[in-house]
């Protein structure tokens, strides 16, 4: 969305938190990658959650973001996200990523965070909720 990685995934997770939604195993942690992206684009998770809750559709959310976010920042932020690896994280963060992303037990070869999230989503959402 607007060229930024994680925005559609973050919006889906926020939508699942709305009463009647089903978040499954996902939570928008204050220390998670979605929170990192939202902070970097210059909005708060609470602001985005409020917009997602009130919006009638995805276009309203995108319009709200487009009025506040500079899409020219997307390539640099996406490159930063692509550079994140589990092997370069602090030991406590490596424990956290393994706890939050169960695919790591089956796929210890994954190191790039973006690949871990992709594999974890595929594993989680290939099963009925």
Q: What is the mean pLDDT of the chain?
A: 87
Question: Residues 1, 51: one domain?
Answer: yes
Tell me what pLDDT residue 22 has: 67
* Model confidence, pTM: 0.79
- Write down the pLDDT at residue 40: 93
With a pLDDT cut of 90, the percent of the chain lying above it is 50
Residue 59 and residue 118 share a domain: no
Return left, alpha or beta for 2; rule: phi > 0 is left, psi -120 to 50 is alpha, else beta.
left
Per-residue pLDDT tens over the stretch 23-81: 666 666 666 788 889 999 999 989 999 999 999 999 999 999 999 999 999 999 999 99
| Between 59 and 123, residue with greater pLDDT | 59
30 and 88 together in one domain: no
CA–CA separation, 120 vs 100, rounded Å? 9
* Residues 33 and 56 placed together within one structural domain of the fold: yes
Residue reference for tokens 């929170």: 35
- 117 and 60 share a domain? no
Give the C-alpha separation, 21 to 19, whole Å: 5
Q: Are 115 and 79 in contact (CB under 8 A)?
A: no
């Amino acid at each position: 969305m607007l060229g930024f990685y994680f925005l559609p995934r973050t919006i889906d997770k926020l939508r699942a938190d709305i009463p009647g939604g089903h978040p499954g195993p996902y939570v928008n942690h204050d220390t998670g990658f979605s929170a990192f992206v939202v902070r970097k684009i210059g909005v708060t998770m609470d602001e985005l959650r409020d917009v997602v809750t009130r919006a009638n559709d995805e276009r309203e959310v995108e319009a709200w973001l487009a009025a506040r976010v500079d899409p020219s920042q997307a390539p640099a932020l996406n490159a930063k996200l692509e550079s994140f690896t589990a092997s370069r994280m602090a030991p406590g963060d490596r424990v956290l990523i393994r706890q939050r992303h169960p695919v790591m037990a089956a796929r210890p070869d994954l190191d790039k965070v973006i690949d871990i999230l992709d594999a974890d989503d595929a594993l989680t959402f290939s099963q009925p909720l």
